[in-house]
Structure 1
Amino acid sequence: MNFGDLIPIVLFICIAYAIKVVVDARVRGRMVGAGGSEELVNSIMRDEEQRRRHSSLRWGIVLLSVGLGFGLIQWFGWQEVTPGMIAVLAGATGLGNLVFFAVARRLG
């Protein structure tokens, strides 16, 4: 893989993330400046924090299951991309999402 092609992609992702962070901060600032009730602002902030934690949990579980899928592919010694290999990865991703759903229901 040519790493020179990767630089514009990473740059685009960084710029998009920076724009998201700035927009989120401005929305929070306007919400506080609009004179909303303190209870409403605290509720929204708590909900946002919970969404962040759940997002981290989801990605952790999904990436762990995808890693296990890749481990299975390596263990079976598959070298070529086949429908079976893609099915293992898709199944691992789906299983990770289902595990997250079960964990999230238990937590919340």
Structure 2
Amino acid sequence: MNPGIVVPVALFVCVTYAIKVCVDAVARRRMMQAGGSAELVASVLREEELRRRHSSLRWGIVLLSVALGFGLIQWFGWQDVTPGMVAVLAGATGLGNLAFFAVSRKLG
């Protein structure tokens, strides 16, 4: 990996995530200072936790399906980027998203 490419991308991702965390913290603080009811604050925090769990579940399922797609590519011995290889990866990503949809419907 070329550090000239990886370092700026990683820096951008870290700065973006830090800004998101700060904005979320400020929003929670303002909600608490605005005198919102304890039920409202608790429900917002529960919903945020559920959203975070679903996000982790989605990425886990999608990355697992993409890994299976790469495994199929390796198993077939494909070396060059072909439309078939791209189709396998796109199909694996789509199947991962569909699996997440099915699981999330069962969860609630």
1:35-54 aligned within 5 A: 35-54=35-54
C-alpha separation in 1, matches of 2:96 and 2:30: 37
1:8-87 aligned within 5 A: 8-87=8-87
**Structure 1 unaligned regions, length at least 5:** none
Cα deviation, residue 4, structure 1: 2.0
Cα deviation, residue 2, structure 1: 1.8
SS of the residue aligned with 2:81?
coil
Normalising by structure 2, we get a TM-score of 0.98
C-alpha separation in 1, matches of 2:8 and 2:99: 35
Provide the aligned C-alpha RMSD in A. Answer: 0.7
Segments of 4+ moved more than 4 angstroms? none
The match for 2:2 is 2
Normalising by structure 1, we get a TM-score of 0.98
How many residues matched? 108
**Structure 2 unaligned regions, length at least 5:** none
SS of the residue aligned with 1:103?
helix
- Say whether 1:107 aligns with 2:88: no
SS of the residue aligned with 1:61?
helix
CA deviations over 1:46-76 (Å, ceiling 9, x no partner): 0000000000000000000000000000000
